[in-house]
A and B are shown apart, each in its own frame.
Chain A
Amino acid sequence: MNQERKEELIVRWMDAEQLSAEENQQLEAILAAEPELKTLRNGHHSMREELQSVYGQPRDLPYGDFFQTKLEQAIRDSELEFAEASKASFNWRDTLRWWVAPVTVGAMAIAFLAGTRVGTAPVEERLVVAEAQIRPLVYTPEGGVTSTIVNADAAGTSVIVLEGLQPIPDSYDLMAERKSSSDRAATVKLLSRISSSQIF
């Protein structure tokens, strides 16, 4: 038997409620396991009498007449508030009433048309691919150095022009793909040397 059922049986037994034969059997089993419940039941009867003697006696609230007067006033106030609120609400609705119906019908029609168009128009499934334009960026650690990139697509070559560099000494050798700029077959060539710019 679950706890809820057990508590229900005990409470009903304490209140001297009519129990069925099956319930009586269940109760006897409970009482056999917990004989202290009999004491609880006996104590409950006297406790109920005590509670009745304390709280059950006729008594009125303090200042009964003032209570009535104040209650009447409170009811009058609440009715006044309600009437004012209703009046305000009525006026507001009244001003709206003449255009609410056509606007509502129009809105419904627009919503319907929009719904049918959106709902039935075939939507092309296409993948929009944004062409990524790769802009070369040249990082120049020295201040005042500007770079320009010249693409020679036909030749499959790009030329980076750096303006503002110090002259590169002859001893400086550029390497690319394990080849020196002084080699004939080098990918990177020092094309010209100007005082303040180098072209690679």
Chain B
Amino acid sequence: MAADSGSSAGGGGDEAKIDLDLVTRSQGGDSRAFEDLVVRHRGRVYAMIQNMVKNDADSWDLSQEVFVKVWKALPKFEARAKFSTWLYRIVHNVVYDWMRKRKLESAGEFDDELMKEGQVAAGSRTTPNQNARPDEALRNEELRTDIEAAMAKLSPGHREVVMLREIQGLDYKEIAEVMEISMGTVMSRLFYARKKLQGLLSNESGA
């Protein structure tokens, strides 16, 4: 069983090849290959969703929903796009459907009050295990808290574009495909999201 569920996200050449191999085998009915595919990506999918919906239980359930959809749609997957790009598109659709159902989204923005309620505590079980020195671990936890607080203040669209670009490493075109927006909108969102995030982080660290 693959265990690199959090490895390099964007999916470089080797990563994409491994994905493609697993996809091909899954399409041929190899359930073990599909299991490996899930294990490779479930950590990133969960992190992505968790960062969007800010709730552990919902993120877990939505991750399940994503992979059920992946299983159903896998026979139709063609290797024109990277598997990771296709997967993030499913994540995007599942999360936005969920947000629509929950009516959390209002004119493209989260309800700030709900966001505060759903704030993930620093050091919760979703945080990675770190064998750092206590002072370093403490600094990392502070950094995580600051960054998560700042990210929570971004709109879902800005948060997603930051996640896809800065963390998952997708290129502009892939982001446009995942989010089903134009390249111009991708660039605009990146510009304003970066600007706002920097401002928020400087406030958080200065506070």
CA distance A17 to B147 in the complex (A): 26
Interface residues of A (CB under 8 A from B): 3-4, 7-8, 10-12, 14, 40, 43-44, 47-48, 50-64, 67-68, 70-71, 74-75, 78
B167 touches A14 (CB 8 A): no
Question: In the complex the two chains form, what is the Cα distance from A51 to B148 in whole Å?
Answer: 9
Interface residues contributed by chain B, number (CB under 8 Å): 52
Contact partner of B147 (CB less than 8 A), chosen from A11, A54, A63, A64, is A54
Interface string of B63-74 (1 = CB under 8 A from A): 110011001100
**Chain A residue, CB-CB nearest to B146:** A50
Q: Are B47 and A55 in contact (CB under 8 A)?
A: yes
With a cutoff of 8 Å between Cβ atoms, the chain A residues found around residue B195 in the complex are: 40
- Listed by A's residue number, 18 A-B pairs whose Cβ atoms lie within 8 Å are A4-B184, A7-B187, A7-B188, A7-B192, A11-B191, A14-B194, A47-B201, A51-B162, A51-B166, A54-B140, A54-B143, A54-B148, A56-B167, A59-B129, A62-B56, A67-B63, A71-B67, A78-B71
CB neighbours (8 Å) of B38 from chain A are 68, 71
User: How far apart sit A189 and B48, CA to CA, in the bound complex (Å)?
Assistant: 102
- Residues from chain B with a CB closer than 8 A to the CB of A74 are 64, 68
Which of these, A48, A54, A57, A78, contacts B6 with CB under 8 Å? Answer: A57
| Residues of chain B within 8 A of A48, CB atoms compared | 166
Which residues on A sit within 8 Å (CB–CB) of B148?
Answer: 54
Q: Which residues of B contact A54 (CB under 8 A)?
A: 140, 143-144, 147-148
Residue-wise, chain B 162-203 has the 8 Å CB interface mask toward A (1 for contact) of 110011000000000000000110011011101101100110
- A14-B194, A50-B147 known; 8 new pairs, CB 8 Å cut-off, are A7-B191, A54-B144, A57-B128, A58-B5, A59-B43, A61-B42, A61-B47, A78-B71
Q: Which residues of A are found within 8 Å of B72, using beta-carbon distances?
A: 78
Q: Identify which of A56, A62, A75 contacts B125 (C-beta below 8 A).
A: A62
Q: Which of B60, B167, B194 contacts A52 (CB 8 A)?
A: B167
Residues of A within 8 A of B201 (CB): 47, 50
Kindly state whether residue B39 has any CB partner on chain A within 8 Å.
Answer: yes
- Determine whether B46 belongs to the interface, using a CB cutoff of 8 Å to chain A: yes
Which residues between 99 and 157 of chain B lie within 8 Å of chain A, taking CB atoms?
125-130, 140, 143-144, 147-148
Given contacts A4-B188, A8-B184, A40-B195, A55 and B64 within 8 Å (CB-CB):
no
Given A58-B4, A64-B39, A64-B42, residue A47 in contact with residue B197 (CB < 8 A): yes
| Shortest Cβ gap from A39 to chain B (Å) | 9
Q: In the assembly, what is the distance between CA of A4 and CA of B185, in Å? A: 8
B1-26 to A contact mask, C-beta < 8 Å, 1/0: 00111110100000000000000000
User: What chain B residues lie within 8 Å of A71 (beta carbons)?
Assistant: 38, 64, 67-68
Question: Which of B64, B167, B187, B192 sits near A51, CB closer than 8 Å?
Answer: B167
Complex: how many Å from CA A163 to CA B184?
Answer: 91
B51 and A55 within 8 A (CB):
yes
When the two chains form their complex, are residues A78 and B68 in contact, meaning their CB atoms are under 8 A apart? yes
